[in-house]
Chain A
Amino acid sequence: MVGSDDLNLNRRDLMVGAGACAAMPAMPGTAKAQPGPDGNPVEFQVSLTVNGKSHTRNVDTRTTLLDLLRENLHLTGTKKGCDHGQCGACTVIVDGRRINSCLTLAVMQEGSSVTTIEGLGQPDNLHPMQAAFIKHDGYQCGYCTPGQICSSVAMLEEIKAGIPSHVTADLLAPVQPTETEMRERMSGNICRCGAYSNIVEAITEVVERQG
């Protein structure tokens, strides 16, 4: 039997462990219908383009873009890790930019153009980044991989656009796609399996091929 003191101690240790991000997310789950302000869930219509295809849906206003993709459009390549912006598994590209799809509402994406891992490439027609991840074993379990790939594709575009990073030595000089730059810029994608060095190799190969 565990005494209540032990439980308290565990709770405290857990908090210490929560460390860097401080937030202690509840178990990830999909939005459950709960009474709205007037006692009912609220529906709202949203139209957006996903992987080139337009969709119009009535959704519960609480639906995140992530849940819309997975539960509604059945595009389950995009993964839910933390549901709180802390892991990057849900990364998709919206209007050319990578974002955490768990921290935006579906209804906020009216008119947006979303690219998910399914839209980047398919098994018979892989995106160069997908091919490089396979070649370099840029994963073990694969759970973080769709997010890693979407993130790295958009990350290279950010470097090309001259957006600086925390490790850019000179804010006024052009940004170079060095390994240090790539590692810093990919810090929003956590890999529980620790495939980081192979991920860096995969991205580096794509950079070198792009010349």
Chain B
Amino acid sequence: MKAFTYERVSSPAQAVAAVARNPGAKFIAGGTNLLDLMKLQIETPTHLVDINSLKLDGIEATPEGGLRIGALMRNTDLAADERIRRDYGVLSRALLAGASGQLRNRATTAGNLLQRTRCPYFYDTAHPCNKREPGSGCSALDGVSRQLGVVGVSEACIATNPSDMAVAMRALDATIETVDADGKTRAIPIAEFHRLPGDTPHVETVLDPGELITAVTLPPPVGGKQVYRKVRDRASYAFALVSVAAIVQPDGTGRVALGGVAHKPWRIEGADAELSRGAKAAAAALLADAKPTRDNAFKLPLVERTIATVLTEARA
């Protein structure tokens, strides 16, 4: 780990000012992703701004009838919140399918949204990786790509976003609230939050440097049967090969989002419209522009089968 200076802040204004003052600074929340990457010198901040005392760890009702989730709320607390369990079950389920009890106790809402890819070459500093070192090349294209992306990929990067939580938030049409050093606030729909890799895979979201996430808001409950299904190499404590978040209404219409297949949670309006026609139609719409590798072509039929299982569960 490279040496760094450290400070604690107690308000969002102090947090953004501290990062603006120190080029090379980063916020640290739970630390479960950032410290992991700092130990490998993949992340090398020269200053850490500890935001754990920001008091953004609660959840409150919005005037519109939805919920505002604090950026620092721990994944355990969010998954266990009564309103989330009752009205946004797919979010509870996605959170509980991720990581381990210990990690969820530390991981925060904002940190989870910003966790970086699990592409093995991103972690292995002995290999070229455009995301880690822009312009160095992508080792996964001709390498081991079993876990990597099949849609929205580019010549520069085929990595996936590893978050389970974000897939459920995509299905729920969440909005990410931020503030910057000038005090300017933004509300970013989650559909626009994560970027496709294109030729700048190191730029993963639309956040500006030093912009602080303060909350994630959920619109009023949409009801329906809410299911999150994660397919992985072992039954627990493993990242998704493919995951499906679905909200299915009694009349068979609904929404579906995928994890484990793209650089962002993957949802296509056209696929939602196909959902009532079944898994095959929905999967075809979601994967219309798929460009799998030989190693990960298995994800295409896996997506269809996982949607089929989810639809069966939703109708049960």
Which of A's residues lie within 8 Å of B, judged by CB?
Answer: 12, 15-16, 18-26, 31, 33-37, 40-42, 44, 60-62, 64, 83-85, 88, 91, 97-100, 103-105, 107-108, 110, 151, 154-155, 158, 161-166, 168, 171-172, 184-189
Contacts and interface: CB of A to CB of B under 8 A. Distances in A.
A25 B125 CA distance: 11
8 contacts: A24-B123, A24-B124, A25-B40, A61-B4, A85-B102, A107-B6, A168-B96, A171-B89
B101 A108 contact: no
A20 B89 contact: no
B316 to A, nearest CB: 12
Nearest to A84: B36
A99 B106 contact: yes
A37 B4 contact: yes
Contacts of A186: 101
Contacts of B6: 42, 44, 61, 105, 107
Interface in B1-51: 1-6, 8, 24, 28, 30-32, 35-36, 39-40, 46-48, 50
Given A62-B3, A103-B35, A104-B35, A37 B96 contact: no
Given A15-B144, A31-B1, A187-B236, A164 B103 contact: no
B4 A62 contact: yes
B76 interface: yes
B143 A12 contact: yes
A35 B3 contact: yes
Contact of B40 (A26, A107, A164): A26
Contacts of A25: 39-40
B92 A105 contact: no
3 nearest A-B pairs in the assembled complex, by CB-CB distance: A188-B100, A36-B3, A20-B238
A23 to B, nearest CB: 5
Contacts of B99: 188
Interface stretch (B79-87, B199-207, B213-221): B79-87
B106 A104 contact: yes
Contact of A97 (B89, B105, B124): B105
Given A20-B233, A34-B2, A164 B85 contact: yes
A104 B102 CA distance: 12
A163 B79 CA distance: 8
A35 B233 CA distance: 41
Interface of B: 1-6, 8, 24, 28, 30-32, 35-36, 39-40, 46-48, 50, 52, 76, 79-80, 85-86, 89, 92-93, 96-97, 99-103, 105-106, 118-120, 123-124, 143-144, 146-147, 232-239
Given A15-B120, A85-B103, A158-B76, 6 more contacts: A20-B232, A21-B237, A22-B239, A26-B39, A85-B102, A163-B79
A83 B52 CA distance: 22
Nearest to B36: A84
B241 to A, nearest CB: 10
A93 to B, nearest CB: 10
A107 B7 CA distance: 9
A116 to B, nearest CB: 14
A62 B4 CA distance: 7
Given A61-B4, A100-B103, A108-B31, A162 B47 contact: no
A181 to B, nearest CB: 11
B50 A108 contact: yes
A23, A34, A104: residue with the most chain B Cβ atoms closer than 10 Å:
A23
A44 to B, nearest CB: 5
A36 B103 contact: no
Contact of A100 (B1, B52, B102, B119): B102
Contacts of B144: 12, 15-16
B28 to A, nearest CB: 7
Contacts of B4: 36-37, 42, 61-62
Given A22-B119, A23-B123, A84-B36, A103 B106 contact: yes
B3 A42 contact: yes
A42 B101 CA distance: 32
B1, B3, B46: residue with the most chain A Cβ atoms closer than 10 Å:
B3
B35 A105 contact: yes
Nearest to A88: B102
Contacts of A85: 32, 36, 100, 102-103
Contacts of A104: 30-31, 35, 106
A177 B232 CA distance: 25
Contacts of B101: 98, 151, 154-155, 158, 165, 185-188
Contacts of B124: 15, 24
B114 to A, nearest CB: 16
B35 A99 contact: no
Nearest to B86: A172
A37 B39 contact: no
